Amino acid sequence: MPEEAARVASVPTQNAVAYDFYLRALAFSNRANDQYALTRVLAPQAIDLLQQAIAQDPKFALADAVLGQVHMLQYFFAPDRTDERLAAAKAAADRSLALQPDLGEGHFALALYWYWGFREYAHANAELDLARKTLHHNYMVEQIGAAIARREGKWDQALEGLHRAREFDPRNSSPAFEVGQTYAQLRRYSESDQAYARAAELSPEPALSQLRRAQNTVAWKGDLAPLRATLQGLAPASDAYRANQSAFFELEWLSRDFAAAARVAEESDAATWTFSRGNSVLPRKLRLARAYGAMGNTDKAKMLYTEVHAEYQAAVRERPGDWDRHLALGLSAAGLGLKDEAIAEGRRTVQMLPITRDAFAGPEYLVYLAQTYLSVGENAQAIDVLEQVMSIPAGLSLSSAILKLDPTWDPLRTDARFKRLLELDPSTTPHG
């Protein structure tokens, strides 16, 4: 019968064991996609199961396509920003398309490779167009297209794409979450609050959306109470608790409890932290060094800055195109008082990922440049950069409320230009 033939042809593998491994892997990868703070825990399990599926059936194209996607999740969100991870993702996607050239999931994997791996938006969009030919009304394809538009500073197009993604899968929390991220960047904090709340309602694991909503309230109103309550609500032994140590640090830092911030950083087992609202990947030791410095323990701070500086001198040589490694090198140099090197690396980081290349993540690196200037005594240049950031969509990284709270900016409190930044109303800040 034609219907039966079509059904059999649509089954991605005839190997029941391979299919079982694949389905078990999806449980981990889908959860990582919903809760990307957990990627470091979940993605390796998905990768292992997918590799077992492919070992059972080397012609299982869909398993290879999803493997390529999960490698990119691991690259971007674990984060494992290495050339080896990129190569593994590309190889898996290429294998899937060699087996099945029209496989939408394979083209989607390549879209993630070009987008997350290289910010090569034209290549990524071309792969998304190919993916759409077979993945009709797929929310993730639309969502990634919207995310690319957001990186290009096409804010209205990004929101339109996210609304389409939400229409394609109304019960999925991810599009609502990304709407929240987009409105937050535009400093439309009230609308962001509503979107995060909707995402939390839809998600089977609402921790990430609840956390972002609380952080949105910090940027919007300078109120730390919701953030403290949200973090206190995480079970200490849970994956979500371990995955959000940088948010615990942020809370204690903004609360000016530097000893508590140091304890958070001391107790974490992660080598690197992704800043809780951005894309940067920095060594945990840098945060710990800052906490020690704020406590007045300059010896411990210097020891850590020295360790990071030596490590990232080597890391930059190994991967010179990685802006996060240059950022870590520059911040550690600033901590050691190496003024010229710190400024050079801070500027290099911004040149490597300017807002013209990435309007979504780029502003975060400008904030770090301002921090670097301040650390080496160049207060006027720090304020120049802060003024720039406050004039563009950058609400995830900086707001008047954050400037008021964050002890980083204490040396600027008496400066008239800085005081004017504190008086800006989010509703009057340019939205892009």
Query: Which residues are within 8 A (CB) of 185 and not within 5 positions of it... i.e. 6 or more apart?
Result: 150, 360, 393, 394, 395, 396
Q: Hunting for tokens 């969100």 — which residue is that?
A: 77
Q: Hunting for tokens 């995480």 — which residue is that?
A: 234
Reading the block at residue 195, the tokens are: 């979107």
Per the document, the length of the chain is 432
Nearest-angstrom CA–CA distance, 401 and 424? 9
Closest by Cα among 201, 251, 213, 177 to 407: 251
Reading the block at residue 376, the tokens are: 């080496």
- What distances in angstroms separate CA 346 from CA 183, 277, 281, 306, 376, one per listed residue? 28, 20, 15, 17, 12
Query: Which residues are within 8 A (CB) of 367 and not within 5 positions of it... i.e. 6 or more apart?
Result: 385, 386, 389, 394, 397, 398
- The 10s digit of each residue's pLDDT in 353-375 is 999 999 999 999 999 999 999 99
13-136 and 244-432 share one CATH topology? yes
**Domain assignments of the chain as residue spans, ordered by start:** 13-136, 244-432
Q: Hunting for tokens 């989607």 — which residue is that?
A: 108
**Under CATH, domain 244-432 is a member of which superfamily?**
Tetratricopeptide repeat domain (1.25.40.10)
Question: Helix, strand, or coil here: 206?
Answer: coil
Digit-by-digit pLDDT tens for the chain (432 residues) are 333 333 334 689 999 999 999 999 999 999 988 888 889 889 999 999 999 999 999 999 999 999 999 999 999 998 999 999 999 999 999 999 999 999 999 999 999 999 999 999 999 999 999 999 999 999 999 999 999 999 999 999 999 999 999 999 999 999 999 999 999 999 999 999 999 999 999 999 899 999 999 999 999 999 999 999 999 999 998 888 888 899 999 999 999 999 999 999 999 989 999 875 678 999 999 999 999 999 999 999 999 999 999 999 999 999 999 999 999 999 999 999 999 999 999 999 999 999 999 999 999 999 999 999 999 999 999 999 999 999 999 999 999 999 999 999 999 999 999 999 999 876 555 554
Question: With contact defined as beta carbons under 8 Å apart, do 177 and 194 qualify?
Answer: no
- What distances in angstroms separate CA 263 from CA 162, 260, 283, one per listed residue? 39, 5, 16
Predicted pLDDT of residue 240: 85
Fold of domain 13-136: 1.25.40
Backbone angles phi, psi at 272, to 5 degrees: -125, 155
Nearest-angstrom CA–CA distance, 357 and 352? 9
